[in-house]
Amino acid sequence: MSGITLALSKGRIFDETLPLLAAAGITPSESPETSRKLIIGTNRPDVRLIIVRATDVPTYVQHGAADLGIAGKDVLIEHGGEGLYQPVDLHIAKCRMMVATPLGFDYEAAVRRGARLRVATKYVQTARLHFARKGVHVDLIKLYGSMELAPLVGLADVIVDLVSTGGTLKANNLVAVEEIMSISSRLVVNQAAMKLKHDAMQPIIEAFRGAVRP
Ligand code: ATP
Ligand code: MG
């Protein structure tokens, strides 16, 4: 494919990417929310979008099935980032990676006395690194969603999850006790495509960079 393929996920990343696309002169020809198409054309004959799960974006770009993509820092850490350049922090889909516990669980005390913690999370690499740096021993329990449930039914002591407003935590009697890192979405670029399609990609990358509103 001589044109440019950009991998995006539906939902907040797509919505927040539209202004960046507009800045690059790219208008999708339909909305992925209403269309069932997974390949979406644009006003530019040389640019198409593919719609994939948020966690799959780095994989498509790493293997060159997409030249560019937009993925959360959370997703990039779990993926590992091999084969990818990450030239621009887009400052979209912002949230925080947090440790959360049930109300009344004394996290600081558990850490101080060296307790072994059961941690439920979708983000096992991030959690592993965080607790290793703190010197806390953990049993990691991999989940694919609804982490908030785990401490409520005795599956885990704490969770590691993304928090924006804290509404979901509050509704489930959980409280955020520690920030691990702030999260935003990044532009990711296939390293080979960056060389082979440089002239077509560079203006898109620069337009995105110029449209970032931190
Ligand atoms: P799905 O919801 O389809 O299971 P997902 O949770 O991976 O998949 P999204 O919920 O669309 O997909 O999240 C995509 C990205 O948006 C995440 O990787 C993260 O970087 C960011 N994100 C997730 N939750 C929030 C939030 N509450 N506020 C802001 N950004 C968020
Ligand atoms: Mg989600």
Q: Which pLDDT value is given to residue 2?
A: 82
Of 13, 21, 58, 17, which is closest to residue 191 (Cα–Cα)?
58
- Which residue's CA is the nearest one to ligand 1's atom 30? 93
> What distances in angstroms separate CA 98 from CA 42, 45, 60, 162, 172, one per listed residue?
37, 42, 28, 6, 15
CA 211 from chain center: how many Å? Answer: 20
Q: Which pLDDT value is given to residue 105?
A: 97
Interval 133-149 mean pLDDT: 98
CATH classification for the domain delimited by 4-93+184-211, as one of 2.60.40.790, 3.40.190.10, 3.40.50.1370, 3.90.550.10:
3.40.190.10
- For the entire predicted model, the pTM comes to 0.96
Q: Do domains 4-93+184-211 and 95-182 have the same CATH topology?
A: yes
- Report domain extents, the chain: 4-93+184-211, 95-182
Domain 95-182 has CATH 3.40.190.10: yes
Whether 5 has a pLDDT exceeding 70, the answer reads yes
Whether 20 has a pLDDT exceeding 80, the answer reads yes
Task: Yes or no: say if 56 and 66 are a contact pair by the CB < 8 Å rule.
Answer: no
Dump pLDDT digits (tens) for 55-109: 999 999 999 999 999 999 999 999 999 999 999 999 999 999 999 999 999 999 9
Ligand 1 pocket by Cβ (under 6 Å): 9, 11-13, 54-55, 72, 74-75, 93-95, 145, 162, 164, 183, 185
Distance (Å, whole) CA 8 – CA 5: 10
Whether 1 has a pLDDT exceeding 80, the answer reads no
Task: Yes or no: say if 65 and 54 are a contact pair by the CB < 8 Å rule.
Answer: no
